[in-house]
Amino acid sequence: MLGAGSKVDGLSHCRRAAWLLLALPVLPVSAMDAGLNDETATPEATAESARDHSEISQVVYVYGSRETYRESKSHSATRTPTPLEELPQSVFVITRDVIDDQAMLGLGDLVRYVPGVSMGQGEGHRDAPVFRGNLTTSDFFVDGMRDDLQYLRDLYNVERVDVLKGPSALVFGRGTGGGALNRVMKPADGERVRALDLMVGMYGQSRIAMDVGDTLGARSGARLNVVVEETDGFRDAMHLSRRGISPAWRTEFSNGTRLELFGEYFEDQRTVDRGVPAESGRPWMGSTTQFFGNPALSESTIEVRSGRGVLTHALTDDVTLRATVSYGDYEKYYSNVYPGGSVDSLGQRSQISAYQSATQRTNLLGQWDLLWQSNWGGQEQTTLLGFEAGRQQSRNLRINASSAIFSLLDRGQTFNPDFSNVPVLNNFNDLDTSAVFLQNQWSLTPTIHLVTGLRWDHFDLIFDDLRAGSVSRG
């Protein structure tokens, strides 16, 4: 009898362990057969060989694991370090090793490995994940802090990504009806890091990413991540240019206090590709390299400037205070000249539409968590009292241009839309938020864990419609 317990983590199978299990019984069985079938063997020798085989053929357990792909805990779902198997929610963790091994560059690459989550087209300029049928363009977070402007994020400075499926309002507040994506940044943990990634690919792709980290004295560490990328695409006139720099710093004080600082400047400039129109109920069957619209006027530009500070202090052995302040400054502009209707098969023509949009936003957010770990009657409990406050200010502008009809030979490449029309969207809004929540994690038995929580949110929105004749609302 041969029994085996095997544990497989990550995205690959431990086939070598399986072959090992099949090979284990071969030698002892062969040795026993040699003893039993040997005509010159004495009865005493045969009995001794049988006893030895009986001892060897006891149950054998073989365990294997892939620690590089494994992450056993997550802060994202409860804001406490909780084992994944104890979370009453589906949390899928993509580690840095998986990101590197699969050459993932953005969230669109990442969600291909997450069951139940896919990525929408996002008009070619924003992340648009679909969580179990729920589309969102705003449920994004960085180390638990909201990052809700619409743009295409890079993974160059990410340690891992936690994908939460299902409602997550207790921890994240508004939104998150289908789920959330929380990017966990690379920390300045004092580890010596020297990494340089070079990528060259089809369509003129060239990318370089650098990761450098080390200690700064006995109690401090620093880390720097940089990315530069230039690439074209399979579609005519496509181009992408992006830059990013992300420093991090950490220091430990002697009184159980730790201060962490993170920063990032990121810019992304690209041609916006909305794809090809439909013809007779299916995608247009012409050349996939041909661009519909005017590529010179189809562009997206995003600039992100953000900073975050995290102060952690151990009040006692069981009580910890954590305070986080985050600031983000976003500027987004995009212009779309795109197919606005299906192809007229008889006239071999297509409608081309266009609009411009711009958004300026600043986020100032704060989180304060008081964490208490206790043991009552041999049952472990983790209690979290949290308070949040924030201000988000946004300016939004959109102008629609009149559509026009072009032949399939031109496809709107000579289209020069008139953006002098009255804006259909022109507003300023000021949102103040505050929240208090209480959460308790109770280990009733080694296999039964109870998570309960209450949250109260307050929103104060001032909406100023700047179009002529409109009335502002608060």
Written as one letter, the residue type at 38 is: D
Q: Is a pLDDT exceeding 90 seen at residue 65?
A: no
What does 161-209 look like in DSSP terms, one character per residue?
EEEEES--HHHH-S--SSEEEEEEEPP--S--EEEEEEEEETTTEEEEE
Of 143, 160, 182, the last residue of a domain is 182
The answer as to whether 303 is a domain residue is: yes
> Looking at residue 61, what is its pLDDT?
85
Token pair in block for residue 180: 């959330």
Rounded CA gap, 302 and 300, in Å?
7
Are 150 and 121 within 8 A, CB to CB? no
- Report which DSSP code applies to 409: T
The answer as to whether 211 is a domain residue is: no
Specify whether 359 is located in the same domain as 448. Answer: yes
Are 71 and 81 within 8 A, CB to CB? no
The mean pLDDT value for 122-133 works out to 92
Specify whether 279 is located in the same domain as 321. Answer: yes
> Looking at residue 383, what is its pLDDT?
96
Kindly report the number of other CB atoms within 10 A of residue 431's CB atom.
16
More confident residue, 225 or 44: 225
The answer as to whether 318 is a domain residue is: yes
Specify whether 79 is located in the same domain as 41. Answer: no
The mean pLDDT value for 290-301 works out to 95
Rounded CA gap, 6 and 265, in Å?
45
Residue 37 structural domain? 1-68
The answer as to whether 400 is a domain residue is: yes
pLDDT interval class at 36 (50, 70, 90): very low
The answer as to whether 234 is a domain residue is: no
Q: What share of the chain is helix, strand, coil (3-state, %, to 5)?
A: 15, 50, 35
> Looking at residue 217, what is its pLDDT?
87
Q: Is a pLDDT exceeding 70 seen at residue 140?
A: yes
Specify whether 285 is located in the same domain as 409. Answer: yes
Q: What is the mean pLDDT of the chain?
A: 87
Alpha carbon 125 to chain centroid, angstroms:
17
Instruction: Strand 158-165: give its sheet, edge to edge.
Output: 90-95, 158-165, 179-185, 140-142, 145-146
The answer as to whether 428 is a domain residue is: yes
Of 182, 199, 217, the last residue of a domain is 182
> Looking at residue 17, what is its pLDDT?
37
Are 70 and 83 within 8 A, CB to CB? no
Q: Is a pLDDT exceeding 70 seen at residue 28?
A: no
Helix 43-56 to helix 26-37 angle (10° resolution) is 170
Question: Which has the minimum average pLDDT: 51-65, 324-338, 355-369?
Answer: 51-65
Specify whether 153 is located in the same domain as 31. Answer: no
Q: Is a pLDDT exceeding 80 seen at residue 280?
A: yes
Q: Which residue, among 227, 267, 226, 217, has the nearest Cα to 248 in the 3D structure?
A: 226
> Looking at residue 41, what is its pLDDT?
52
CATH of the domain at 426: 2.40.170.20
The mean pLDDT value for 107-123 works out to 94
Q: In angstroms, what is the C-alpha Rg of the chain? A: 29
Convert the pLDDT of each residue in 395-443 to its tens digit: 999 999 999 999 999 999 999 999 999 999 999 999 999 999 999 999 9
Specify whether 121 is located in the same domain as 177. Answer: yes
The answer as to whether 254 is a domain residue is: no
Specify whether 59 is located in the same domain as 108. Answer: no
Rounded CA gap, 446 and 449, in Å?
8
Specify whether 160 is located in the same domain as 28. Answer: no
Q: What's the angle, vertex CA 32, arms to CA 31 and CA 33, rounded to 5?
A: 95
Give the count of domains, the chain: 3
CATH of the domain at 111: 2.170.130.10
Rounded CA gap, 371 and 171, in Å?
14
> Looking at residue 29, what is its pLDDT?
39
Token pair in block for residue 277: 């129109």
Specify whether 49 is located in the same domain as 175. Answer: no
Q: Is a pLDDT exceeding 80 seen at residue 19?
A: no
- Report which DSSP code applies to 15: H
pLDDT interval class at 376 (50, 70, 90): confident
> Looking at residue 208, what is its pLDDT?
98
Total count of residues recorded for the chain:
474
- Report which DSSP code applies to 156: T
Q: Is a pLDDT exceeding 70 seen at residue 468?
A: yes
Are 474 and 432 within 8 A, CB to CB? no
- Report which DSSP code applies to 84: G
The answer as to whether 264 is a domain residue is: no
Specify whether 362 is located in the same domain as 424. Answer: yes
Q: Which residue, among 307, 311, 279, 272, has the nearest Cα to 293 in the 3D structure?
A: 272
The mean pLDDT value for 197-221 works out to 95
Of 130, 157, 182, the last residue of a domain is 182
Specify whether 129 is located in the same domain as 18. Answer: no
Specify whether 102 is located in the same domain as 13. Answer: no
Convert the pLDDT of each residue in 167-196 to its tens digit: 999 999 988 889 999 999 999 999 999 999
- Report which DSSP code applies to 86: G
Q: Is a pLDDT exceeding 50 seen at residue 471?
A: yes
